């Protein structure tokens, strides 16, 4: 099927023009070093945002599942936060944070002078809401008997959460967490709307200079080079976990 589709594309009347416009080796060689250098900004921003989101998302999820009456205001705040942040497109949040915070005139200079910080904050807000719901689903999936058993052996409620519930929940939600972080790795490119020259923006600049879209293909290859290894690593971890538990996947 793929071979037939490839043959159809290559034999189409406009293939030569498409090849010159999107797959020019000369343009690829000229633009790739600059795009690769800009891509390191994507990687650094992605890693920092991911670490922060993992911590904040877990905190929001724990607040949402707690039944303590004293935490009711925090619980309602967490509900409103997740509903709003998941309901607004990421690019709109980046616009609101990136241009709205400097306009207030109350933020420190180091924050407003570099749009990378503002874009990172916007991504943290959006993805914390998504990851919090993933964590919450994982925590809800742990049978209540696990907490009861932890309390029975003398652990406090917080110790049971830390040592029993959270480890089990995290193992169960690794696949959806990976999906969220693959999306995050791609959405980092959205900070370009604030004037940040990352890989996608550098590719746009090169493409507009030469009226050739090969630089965009080069940028896409870099994103794929990060995404696919992440997926394979998780597949291997899940396979090892199934072997340890004696589970066999049916075909």
Which residues of the chain register pLDDT less than 70? Answer: 2, 5, 241, 244-251
pLDDT at 248: 47
pLDDT at 49: 95
172 phi-psi bin (left φ>0, alpha ψ -120 to 50, beta other): alpha
pLDDT at 209: 86
- Domain of residue 77, residue span: 25-242
pLDDT at 229: 85
pLDDT at 245: 61
Within-domain flag for 145: yes
Residue recorded with tokens 């043959």: 7
* Cα–Cα distance measured from residue 154 to residue 208, given in angstroms and rounded to the nearest whole number: 66
Within-domain flag for 13: no
pLDDT at 246: 62
Within-domain flag for 3: no
pLDDT at 44: 93
pLDDT at 250: 43
CATH number of the CATH domain containing 116: 1.10.3720.10
Within-domain flag for 251: no
Within-domain flag for 6: no
Within-domain flag for 131: yes
pLDDT at 177: 86
Contact 122, 90 (CB under 8 A): yes
- Total domains in the chain come to 1
Residues 6+ apart with CB under 8 A from 129: 57, 60, 81, 82, 84, 85, 86
Within-domain flag for 54: yes
Within-domain flag for 9: no
């Amino acid at each position: 099927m793929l071979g037939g589709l490839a043959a159809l594309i290559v034999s189409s009347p406009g293939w030569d023009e498409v090849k010159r416009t999107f797959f020019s080796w000369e343009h690829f060689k000229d633009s790739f070093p600059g795009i690769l250098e800009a891509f390191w900004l994507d990687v650094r921003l992605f890693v920092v945002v991911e670490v922060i989101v993992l911590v904040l998302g877990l905190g929001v999820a724990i607040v949402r599942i707690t039944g303590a009456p004293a935490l009711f205001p925090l619980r309602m705040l967490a509900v409103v936060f997740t509903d709003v942040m998941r309901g607004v497109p990421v690019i709109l949040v980046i616009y609101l944070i990136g241009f709205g915070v400097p306009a207030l005139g109350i933020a420190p200079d180091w924050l407003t002078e570099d749009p990378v910080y503002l874009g990172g904050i916007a991504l943290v807000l959006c993805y914390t809401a998504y990851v919090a719901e993933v964590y919450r689903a994982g925590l809800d999936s742990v049978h209540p008997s696990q907490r009861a058993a932890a309390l029975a052996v003398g652990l406090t409620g917080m110790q049971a959460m830390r040592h029993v519930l959270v480890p089990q929940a995290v193992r169960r939600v690794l696949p959806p967490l990976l999906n969220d972080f693959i999306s995050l790795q791609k959405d980092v490119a959205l900070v370009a709307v604030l004037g940040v020259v990352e890989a996608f923006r550098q590719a746009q600049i090169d493409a507009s200079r030469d009226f050739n879209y090969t630089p965009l293909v080069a940028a896409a290859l870099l994103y794929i080079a990060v995404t696919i290894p992440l997926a394979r690593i998780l597949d291997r971890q899940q396979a090892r976990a199934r072997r340890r538990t004696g589970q066999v996947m049916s075909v």
